[in-house]
């Protein structure tokens, strides 16, 4: 993750009230939405889900951050299918350099936010 020192002001308006938010870097913006505790929980639940699927899939918090950043970048350059980001014709270097196509699909497959064995059934 690239951390920059430039100050990026954001001016937001809500219900007639103006307020000013200032972030020192892109990393600070990212951590406003993806707190380390949340990332740790996602990693743990993804490991639990992979074990339930009889897979030895493992992911670290750093790799999860990279995966989430990749998804955010994909939102800026939308394509109909994920595979297009790695194709020779439509290649997106910022994504290709961050994660391989196979690893992206593997993380996407096992990404989980809660334990299915503890789910409440109505």
pLDDT in tens, 22-69: 556 666 677 778 889 999 999 999 999 999 999 999 999 999 999 998
Q: Which is it for strands 8-14 and 17-23: parallel, antiparallel or unpaired?
A: antiparallel
Question: How many angstroms separate the CA atoms of 40 and 44, rounded?
Answer: 6
Strand partners, 10: 21
What does R_g of the chain's alpha carbons equal in angstroms?
18
Given a cut of 70, whether residue 14 has pLDDT beyond it is: no
Q: What's the rounded mean pLDDT across residues 109-120?
A: 89
pTM above 0.85, yes or no: no
The two tokens of residue 78 are 């939308």
Closest CA to 67 of 95, 27, 93: 95
pLDDT beyond 50 at 112: yes
């Amino acid at each position: 993750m690239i951390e920059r020192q430039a100050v990026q002001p954001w001016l937001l308006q809500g219900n007639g009230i103006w307020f000013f938010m200032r972030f020192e870097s892109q990393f600070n913006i990212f951590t406003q939405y993806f707190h380390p505790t949340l990332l740790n929980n996602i990693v743990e639940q993804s490991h639990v889900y992979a074990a339930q699927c009889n897979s030895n899939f493992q992911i670290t918090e750093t790799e999860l951050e990279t995966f989430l950043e990749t998804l955010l970048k994909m939102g800026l350059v939308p394509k109909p299918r994920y595979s297009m980001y790695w194709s020779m014709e439509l290649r997106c270097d910022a994504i290709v350099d961050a994660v391989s196509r196979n690893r992206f699909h593997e993380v996407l497959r096992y990404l989980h936010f809660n334990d299915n064995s503890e789910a409440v059934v109505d």
